[in-house]
């Protein structure tokens, strides 16, 4: 699964990297060192004309849900079954997004302990995780825009840490993923592959990252 990640660069760097139009005041963006479920996460969607940067709540709320709290249980969607699940079938065809990060955390099991690890790419500071999004409307008319990160089986590098990992899209596949005109399930599914092992790196970080209340640069420090 993917339950925490980071985004620590400037909004201008993100906009340049992904060629996206910023749809919110620049001063509302803040670097985050421990992004957790239920928080607002920075994403890119394509509105049919251009790529737009904006925020979605992390935790997918299906349109038919009676209670938005279901989103707490739907932070991830498995790539292997995403086209078959009623909750995700429409979103995977019509409402895909890039969820922007520069690293993610995973907890490595060792007997009775869990060690937090920070995982990033060697070749790129920023990367895009494959996501889906949805608009849920409450009985009173309130709209909540939410998302989920798509996961896949771990590659050889990640398998020593966890058996699952987020789908990190190849740079050349990002625009295909965002293209709203592409609805063919096989084409979409072909993009949901484990990221190449050779380009990933990881190191141990402090147990302070265990609490989502902690959000400061020291969380990125490598521990021995």
pLDDT in tens, 52-85: 999 999 999 999 999 999 999 999 999 999 999 9
Residues counted in the chain: 224
The pTM assigned to this predicted structure is 0.96
Nearest to 207 by CA among 192, 221, 195: 221
Residue 11: which residues within 8 A CB-CB, separation 6 or more?
A: 22, 26, 29, 53
Strands 164-166 and 143-153: antiparallel
Q: Which residues are part of the catalytic machinery?
A: 2, 106
Strands 21-22 and 143-153: unpaired
CB 177 within 8 A of CB 165: no
- pLDDT by residue (tens digit) across 146-183? 999 999 999 999 999 999 999 999 999 999 999 999 99
**Looking at 5-9, 48-52, 99-103, 175-179, which range is the least confident one?**
48-52
What mean pLDDT, rounded, does the chain reach?
95
Residue 105: which residues within 8 A CB-CB, separation 6 or more?
A: 3, 4, 5, 6, 34, 116, 117, 118, 119, 205, 209
Average pLDDT over residues 190-199: 97
Q: Distance between CA 133 and CA 59 in Å, rounded?
A: 9
Nearest to 198 by CA among 101, 104, 123, 102: 123
Give the architecture-level CATH label for domain 4-220. Answer: Alpha-Beta Complex (3.90)
Q: Distance between CA 146 and CA 161 in Å, rounded?
A: 28
């Amino acid at each position: 699964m993917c339950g925490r990640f980071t985004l620590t660069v400037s909004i201008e760097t993100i906009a340049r990297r992904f060629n996206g139009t910023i749809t919110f005041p620049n001063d509302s963006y803040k670097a985050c060192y421990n992004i957790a479920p239920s928080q607002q996460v920075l994403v890119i969607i394509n509105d049919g004309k251009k790529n737009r940067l904006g925020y979605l709540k992390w935790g997918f709320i299906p349109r038919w849900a009676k209670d938005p709290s279901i989103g707490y249980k739907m932070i991830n969607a498995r790539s292997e079954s995403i086209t078959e699940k009623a909750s995700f079938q429409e979103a995977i065809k019509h409402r895909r997004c890039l969820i922007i990060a520069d690293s993610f955390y995973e907890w490595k099991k060792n007997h009775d302990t869990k060690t937090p690890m920070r995982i990033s790419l060697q070749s790129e500071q920023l990367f895009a995780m494959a996501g889906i999004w949805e608009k849920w409307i409450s009985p009173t008319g309130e709209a909540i825009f939410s998302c989920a990160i798509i996961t896949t089986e771990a590659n050889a590098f990640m398998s020593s840490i966890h058996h699952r990992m987020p789908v990190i899209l190849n740079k050349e596949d990002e625009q295909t993923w965002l293209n709203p005109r592409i609805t063919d399930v096989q084409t979409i599914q072909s993009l949901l592959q484990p990221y190449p092992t050779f380009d990933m790196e990881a190191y141990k970080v402090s147990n302070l990252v265990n609490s989502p209340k902690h959000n400061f640069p020291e969380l990125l420090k490598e521990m021995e």
